[in-house]
Structure formats: structure tokens, C-alpha cells
A and B are shown apart, each in its own frame.
Chain A
Amino acid sequence: MSEFAVDIEYLRKKYRGGVEALAGITLQVPYGCVFGLIGPNGAGKSTMVKSLLGILRPTECRGTMLGEAIGKKAPLARVGYLPEHARFPEYLTGRQVVEYAAGLSNVARSSSRVRTEELLEKVGMSSRAHDRIGSYSKGMKQRIGLAQALVNDPVVVFLDEPTDGVDPEGRIDFKRMIAGMRDEGRTVFVNSHLLAEVEQVADRVAILTGGKIIRQGTVEELTRRGATYELKIQGSVPDQVKDWCVERKMQVAGDSITYTAENPLAMQPLIDRLRAAQVIIREMKEERFSLEDLFLSEVQRARQEAAPPALPAKKGGPS
């Protein structure tokens, strides 16, 4: 059996109008992790998830999900899904929505009842479970959506923009619940454009833009590109130290010196030099790359690479 819950060897989707939503991607999601798929709007995040779940038909697809070929219906019995903008029939109550999902997933009636009650409790909707969906707020609908995604005790859960329209308190709850799913051994696949949230909750991340995965790895790996160190001293930087810093491409401004390095070891010679010059060091702080920094720089780079080269100016034309 594959060590990956989702193992996409090659996935391509070209819509009838000619738009290539996924330009041949490769992606692996290990069992038991929280995987964040991030990308700008229209990057192809939802298309990818829908391709895995058979909601749309990929143009070309090789790979497995839960050990079976992508596109087969059988593994979906062990998959949960909360779509973006989930819409539940307004004539159903919250409890009925969860029971409906259980029925479609072939969960036995007896276990479905117990599981439904457990999940309604877990998502904080027990007291409103008998009310019709039409009377719920967006956040409540999302909570019911999460409960229906978990009713079949899934191995993999796909959450497409799960905190969209949810209030700050609800977002904290969602993050807690996602962490809880990981603790239960589930693989959670989160599609989101809220980078800070993904960074807080995901173990592994992939950046998708223009239908291509441009980076993937653990959050630590991706943000380990170094850090910016800022060192502040009392008074201004002495000239001999300043020259030394400029030679090493350190930025000196007034009483502060900043330097981008792999680790704090690179700052030690500077500290030695400052101490030798009897300069008092007031503080040193480390600012690591966030997922947002990485995302912005990678998306920017991808766009520049994708942009057509500038045409040379015609001779005699306007300058």
C-alpha cells in the first residue's frame, strides 16, 4: 500500500473553453498530516480537489487515493468533503443534513445516529440541530458542513475554504477541530487563501498558481530559507565596523545593522567585532520568513516567468 493518502503522479485538466486549470501536477499527501494547498483565486485549488473526488473529470490523471485509482467511487466511502460555498437544502434541519450525508456514504443507520449526535456535539451545534438550515448563520452552516464531512469516519477529509464567512471565534474552533482530526489519525487536506491560518495548522504545504505546483514541502522546510537578523547598538555604528559590514553586504542604518542569513551563527563575527570596539549591544532579534512572504515571492516569481518577454523597441519608433 502506498505511504501516501493521496498520490498524484500526473493530473491535468483542460476545460472545454480551452482554459487549462491544471497544467499537469504531481503531489503527494502523506497519511495523518494536515496538508495545506494555497494559491491565489483561480489557481486551480478547487479544480484539483474536485478532480480527486470525481466531481469533475480530469483530462488526464494518473495516481491513487487511499490505494485505489483516482476517479473510482469506492474510496469515497472513506473520504469526507466540505465544498467551498456549501449549500444544504433549506428544508432540512442540521441533524437531517448530517444523516443525509451518512446515508449517501452508506453508513449503517444504527452507527449513523450515534455518530451524528457525537459530531453535532463536537462542532457545537447540538442545541440547534433540530432547527432548519435556513435559519442558520454562515458560520453555523460551515459547522454542520464539517459534521457531515466527518460522519463516515473518513481517513481523508477535504476542506475547501473551511473558514470562509466564519467569525474569528469560529476560526479558532475550526483550527482546533482540524488539529483534533490530525490527532485522530486523519489526513486533512485544506484549501485556503488564508495563509496565516494554513501556516498555523498545516504540516505540509503546496503552492499552486496558474495550474502548477510551484513549491511543496513541510512548513518548516519552506520557511527555512533563512531569517533576517536585526542588531541594535547604543550610539551609531563605528566607521571601521561599518566598512566591515558593507563589505559583507550587511545593511547599516543609524544604530541598527540588518543581515539575512541561514542561522544566527552568521551574526557571531559581527558581535565579536562590535564587542572588540567596545560597542554596547542593546538587542538582537530574528525575523523568520513567513508562509505569506514565501507565497508572495513564489507567486510573483511564477508570474514573471510566465509573462511573455518584452518586445525590443522598433528602430526609429518612440522611445
Chain B
Amino acid sequence: MRQAATVLLDSLRMLRASMLFWISIWISALVALIYASIGFTDNGISVLFGAWDINAPMLNKHSAEAEAFYLLLFTDVIARYWLGWFSLVLALISTCSIFPNFLQVGSIELALSKPISRVRLFLLKYTGGLLFVAVQTGLFCLIVFFALGFRLNEWNVTIFWAVPIITFSFSLIYCVSVFIGLVTRSTVFALLGAILFWGAILIAQWTEDTFYKMAYLMPDVGVGMDFQTGQLKEAEPDAESGLKKAYQAIHSVTQVLPKTRECTHSLKRLIKFEERDSMLTGVDLGMVLSGGDVDPQLKSAMEKYENRHSWFTIIGTSLLFELIVMGVTFGIFARRDY
């Protein structure tokens, strides 16, 4: 316990000493505060605690759309793009040097000469790197929790699902960065390798997503694509079987890859709004902003699209990937002479 506390405290000290950590924390707090500053008036939205009013009658303070807008802004925009993208890039830049620095001559010897096993040391050091994201996301969620509480009287602890999910999503890239950092002992290679890998799996996930939309979502709402003209056309739900085959092939390939994007998207399934769920499920921010009643066929197809992956596909296969990469990395760490 004492050793674990020591290594984790050291990780926190390392983070505190990193300029990027503070920049990231401040931006996070700023984004969360801007979110908290959004309110609704009789005529629409007010931003920066009433300093700037936007005329949008559809989102007036009495409308159900205003509440949906506020909640979806968090799950569909902020969680996906700020927490799931920008903050993770900053975290990766800040943490990719942890293992290469730790493995430097004169540094690793100090730790290995202590009565702590290599597996424990490795896992604690690894966990220390994840603290960067956990601390930042935790702070962010705390502000959002109070914002939702005060704005919508929605005191919703499921918001805090973002902490483990975003941290897990980060860990899928971080484990690759640690692997490359351990093999090459280079911070630059660790960062570049991890970013390239992230880019590759994102392309795979986008491809899978696009093919699903074309093969299932669009036919489900009676829309198809004419590939010769690029125009949309009416279609039967069972049409486009070639696309379905292509989707199945792509899905099989992406199955073995870690799903950072899907993890972030899964937050929408985990963050529950008891009384508002029927209003939010199968609906995205664009649909809310377009106004009017949502087509039940589209809502149903969207719901199917959002829930198309099982938890095993999203978390299970990603976890399996991480365990394999971690296993190989630890094997190298444990057997190497320093």
C-alpha cells in the first residue's frame, strides 16, 4: 500500500510539474464553465451567464427541446469532441514521456533496486499515466454535474461515467504509446506511434460507421443511395445487400481493434436521464435543432444505430486488445536487463 501510494503520489507530482497538465485543466474548466453558463430565456438561449442572448424561440425555457438540447450538448458534443478528442491529445503529449524517462540509465536502477516487484512497479507507473485523464475528466464532470443540477434540477451521478469511460478510451492509445516508448526508449517515437495508431483505428471506426449507415440506417428509414449519381433515392429496408456484405466484412476487421470512438459514444447509453430518456434516445443534436416532431421511423432506426454494438464489442474487445498489448509490454519490461 505504501509503495502504491508512493508511486501514485510521484505521478501526481509529475503531472503538477507539467505545464501542459495545467493548460489542459484550465481549458477543461473553461469549457465546463462555458457549458454551465448556458441558460434558457423566454426567447431562446443565453450564454456566459446572461451576457449574450441568442434568439431561438424553439429553445425557450419552457420547451422540452431546451432540456434535450442542454443534455445532448454534453453527450453528443462536449464528451465526444472535448473529452474524447482534444483532451486526450493533450494527455497523450503529456504522458508519452513517462516510460522513456523512467527507463533512462540512472533512473530505472533506483526503482528496481527497491523491494518492489517489476509487475507492481509497471502497473503503478502505468496507472499513474492514466491519472492525467482521470483527474481532468473528474473535474470536468464535477462542474457539469452542478451545471445540470442547477439548470435542469437534474442531479445526475451517471455523468461521472465519463471518468472511467474516457480514461479507458485514453488507455487504449496510451498502452500503445507505452509499448513503443518501452521498445524504443524514445518519447518522440512513443507519441508519433500512438497518434498514427489512433488515426488508423479511427479511420477503421469511421468506415464501419459509414457503411452501417448506408447498409442499415438509411434503408431502415426508406432511403438509399444511387452510387452512379451520388443522389439519395427511395429504398426498401432489405435492399442494398452488397453493402450489407461489405459492412459485415469491415465489421469483422474492426472487431479486433480497440474502439476509442465507440467508447466515447457509449457514454450516451450510460448517462441516464430517468424522466427524459424517451426524449433523448434515438435523437441527436441536429434532430433537436431542426425542430418539429421526430419521425418515429427515424428515431427507431437511430436507436438501433446507437445500440448496434454490444458492450462486449465496445468494452470487451477493447479491453482484450489492451490486455494483450500490456502483456507483451510487461513481458519486455520484466525480462529486460537495465
Contact = CB atoms under 8 A, between A and B. Distances in A.
Contacts of A107: 2
B17 interface: yes
B120 to A, nearest CB: 10
Interface string B82-108: 000000000000000000010011111
B105 A85 contact: yes
Contact of A76 (B107, B115, B338): B115
A126 B18 CA distance: 26
Contacts of A74: 115
A15 B16 CA distance: 39
A40 B223 CA distance: 80
A141 to B, nearest CB: 10
A302 to B, nearest CB: 25
Contacts of B104: 87
Contacts of A92: 10, 13
Interface string A65-106: 000000001111101010111111101100010011111111
Contact of B112 (A53, A89, A91): A53
A201 to B, nearest CB: 22
A77 B117 CA distance: 12
B131 interface: no
Contacts of B9: 103
Nearest to B121: A104
B106 A104 contact: no
B113 interface: yes
A148 interface: yes
Given A57-B335, A100-B6, A91 B110 contact: no
Contacts of B109: 50, 53, 55, 81, 83, 86
A84 B111 CA distance: 14
A57 B337 contact: yes
Contacts of B110: 81, 83, 86, 88, 101, 148
A282 interface: no
A85 B106 contact: yes
Contact of A106 (B2, B17, B106): B2
Contacts of A84: 106
Interface string B10-51: 100110111000000000000000000000000000000000
B1 to A, nearest CB: 9
B179 to A, nearest CB: 20
A91 B20 CA distance: 14
A55 B101 CA distance: 17
A87 B111 CA distance: 11
A103 B5 contact: yes
B127 interface: no
A261 interface: no
Contacts of A101: 110, 114
Nearest to B335: A57
Contacts, number: 90
A56 interface: yes
Interface in A132-184: 148, 158
A235 interface: no
A106 B3 contact: yes
B14 A104 contact: no
Contacts of A57: 335, 337
A273 interface: no
B112 A55 contact: yes
Nearest to A84: B106
Interface string A36-72: 0000000000000010011111000000000000000
A147 to B, nearest CB: 13
Interface string A102-140: 111111110000000000000000000000000000000
B105 A104 contact: no
Interface string B301-338: 00000000000000000000000000000000001011
A56 B113 CA distance: 10
A203 to B, nearest CB: 24
Contacts of B10: 89, 92, 100
B196 interface: no
A57 B159 CA distance: 48
A102 B110 CA distance: 11
B183 interface: no
Contacts of A158: 113
A87 B113 contact: no
15 contacts: A54-B113, A55-B112, A55-B337, A75-B115, A83-B113, A87-B104, A88-B110, A89-B101, A91-B14, A92-B10, A96-B13, A99-B6, A103-B7, A105-B114, A106-B3
Interface of A: 15, 50, 53-57, 73-77, 79, 81, 83-89, 91-92, 96, 99-109, 148, 158
Would you list the 5 A-B pairs with minimal beta carbon distance, nearest first?
A103-B6, A91-B17, A56-B337, A87-B106, A104-B114
